[in-house]
Structure 1
Amino acid sequence: MTRSHRLEVDGGLHLHLVDHDHGPHAAPPLVLVHGFMGSTQSWGDLPARLSRHRRVIVPDLPGHGRSDRPGSPDRYGVLEVAGALARMAEGLRLGAADWLGYSMGGRIVLAGAAEGLLDPRRLILESASPGLETEAERAERRAADERLARRLEVEGLAPFVDDWLALPLFATLSPDARERARRLRLANDAHALAACLRGGGTGVQRSYWRDLPQVEVPTLVLTGARDPKFTRLGHRMATALPFARSEGVADAGHAVHAEAPDAWARAVTGWVGSD
């Protein structure tokens, strides 16, 4: 059964989620955590495909999709959101689950694992990073994100989305994938996204590079071969994590799940198993 519902996770905050539960399955549940401006719909038919062998839970992060949209940036910090996801997992009685985070979602999942908020059986980090290493880098990123947040508030969502999808990160999207990504992103709210940039951007969170050796969870670091920046980051992360492997997907860029869904599904299933 596939069920869409809202779950209260913290102080009146409700997360919308889609629960693909066709059990009973022997395999542990899998949680998919989308990136900035994403939603439950960002994964296409991949959750349904994966749910043939396991329960798959797909939440909308705070400020995204059909989840609540707090006005305060404090509600979007990576640890605050990781805590909300942990309470979601507890409310759904997931037990030992596998967690996959894409881009911003990967930062949140990794921070949650490093801080002990999440207790994953296995991790998959798709085009993710542990954050920026120096305060100078973080300060520069905070200033850049503040400019983006102000632009969202002044100009609205459409021009922001068009410029976002014009970034080199998304240069490898096909025309169809680009149009679908644009349509889904335009369903968000400009003010909520501005608060997310201020509270959950890479410049706000602390660096987790030094914490990686203590994340003793089997981890697949998944990147697109046509995304050189995150491929380099992925190799370095996999070297620092004690039980990790990096895998590059040919003919894919930053959004591996959108650009090469079949290869993404094979990599995910191969890592978490099917029974």
Structure 2
Amino acid sequence: MASPFVLLHGFTQTGRSWDGVRRDLGDGVLAPDLRGHGAAAARRPIDTAHLVADVLEAAPDRFVLAGYSMGGRLALHVALAAPERVAALGLVSTTAGLPDPAERAARRAADDALAGDVERDGIDAFAERWGALPLWAGQPEAVRAVAHAERLRQDPAGLAASLRGFGTGAMVPVWDRLGELTMPAVVLAGARDAKFRAIGERLAAALPDGRLVVVDGAGHALALEAPATVAAALGALA
């Protein structure tokens, strides 16, 4: 029997961001809202330990784990905390963190400043600012509209707490522990997403049973831009 899937969304998203992928994967897919987002917007505290515990509490005994961006960073921590439960691992447009302490401190300060902005300016202004990032350059208009609508449904306080508690600057990097993750793993990156394509190459090389899939014509938000390709790559792990 194929293992069920647990899919972890990115920052400013909810579990519904995986809907296109879920349609192709079929039954047996769990895509929870993570602390600070959607139905879990008010859950506190937000930190690595509590996020990991939430996932492991909600997940079946053994499962295929996949995460996008922020969710991919969390997936790595979940897999390291309970490798015996993770049958396979999917990492979508993500990183194992910032290993340089100075770079991590600078990112933590930037995330804290952004958290203050969203608290002060509200969700509409933040959604416009976030949607204008170069990270989304070339994104199809329909995908941009879906992503923007999802951001507008978020709670400013939840997003601010997520940035402070599990932003890239707050997360402990795990590059030096990737060798512990011996389960089959697929790393996905969009061809237009040069930064995360390069990071994806490093991830796939560092994982003992990792392979890289570069998705032609796609950018960072792969679950929204190329759900069928993402589903096919994850489905091959089950």
TM-score, reference length from structure 2: 0.95
Deviations 1:26-46 (A, max 9, x none): 211011110001112212332
Aligned residues: 238
Q: Does 1:80 align with 2:53?
A: no
Q: Does 1:272 align with 2:237?
A: yes
Gaps of 5+ in 2: none
SS at structure 2 position matched to 1:123:
strand
Deviation at residue 117 of structure 1 after TM alignment:
7.2
Q: 1:82 to 1:118 in 2, by over 3 A?
A: farther
1:121 has 2:87 as partner: yes
Q: Which residue of 1 aligns with 2:42?
A: 69
Report the Cα distance in structure 2 between the residues aligned to 1:48 and 1:231, rounded to whole angstroms: 26
User: Deviation per CA, 1:119-171, whole angstroms, max 9, x where unpaired?
Assistant: 21000000111100111011000110011000011000111111111112111
- Larger proportion of helix: 2
Residue of structure 1 equivalent to 2:209: 243
Q: Distance in 1 between matches of 2:20 and 2:226?
A: 13
Alpha-carbon distance between aligned partners in 1 of 2:41 and 2:205, rounded to the nearest angstrom = 37
The residue number in structure 2 matching 1:39 is 14
Instruction: For 1:99 and 1:129, locate their aligned partners in 2 and report how far apart those are by CA, in whole Å.
Output: 15
Cα distance in 1 for residues equivalent to 2:49 and 2:233: 27
The Cα shift of 1:95 comes to 2.1
Q: How does 1:17-28 map to 2 (within 5 A)?
A: 26-28=1-3
Report how far residue 63 of structure 1 moved: 1.6
Correspondences of 1:185-204 after superposition (within 5 Å): 185-204=151-170
Query: Is 2:47–2:166's contact at 8 Å kept on the other side of the alignment?
Result: yes
Distance 1:118 1:148 in 2: 37
Percent identity over the alignment is: 39
1:218 aligns with 2:184: yes
Task: Give the AA of the match of 1:57.
Answer: L
In structure 2, do the counterparts of structure 1 residues 118 and 157 end up closer, same or farther at CA, with 3 Å as the change threshold?
farther
Which of 55, 59, 64 is 2:32 aligned to?
Answer: 59
Contact conserved, 1:125 with 1:221, CA < 8 A, in 2? yes
Q: Aligned equivalents of 1:158 and 1:83: distance in 2?
A: 31
Q: Give the conservation status (yes or no) of the 8 Å contact 2:41–2:154.
A: no
SS class of match (2:67)? strand
In 2, are the aligned partners of 1:251 and 1:260 still within 8 Å (CA)? no
Indicate the structure whose relative CO is greater, using CA pairs within 8 Å and at least 6 residues apart.
2
Distance 1:159 1:118 in 2: 43
Larger Rg: 1
Among residues 16, 20, 24, which one is paired with 1:49 in the alignment?
24
Residue 266 of structure 1 and its aligned partner are, at CA, apart by 2.1
Q: TM-score, normalised on structure 1?
A: 0.83
Equivalent in the alignment of 1:30: 5
Say yes or no: does 1:228 pair with 2:194.
yes
The superposition leaves residues 183-238 of structure 1 with CA deviations (integer Å, 9 ceiling, x where unpaired) of: 11111100111011001111111110100111112110111111010010011111
Conservation of the 8 A alpha-carbon contact between 1:146 and 1:198: yes
Is the strand fraction higher in 1 or 2?
A: 1
Match of 2:143 in 1: 177
The alpha-carbon deviation at position 68 of structure 1 amounts to: 4.7
Deviation at 1:116, TM superposition (A): 3.0
Question: Equivalents in 1 of 2:48, 2:125: separation in Å?
Answer: 26
What RMSD in Å do the two structures reach over aligned CA positions? 1.5
Asked if structure 2 preserves the Cα contact closer than 8 Å seen for 1:170 and 1:254, the reply is: yes
Contact kept? 2:20, 2:223, Cα under 8 Å? no
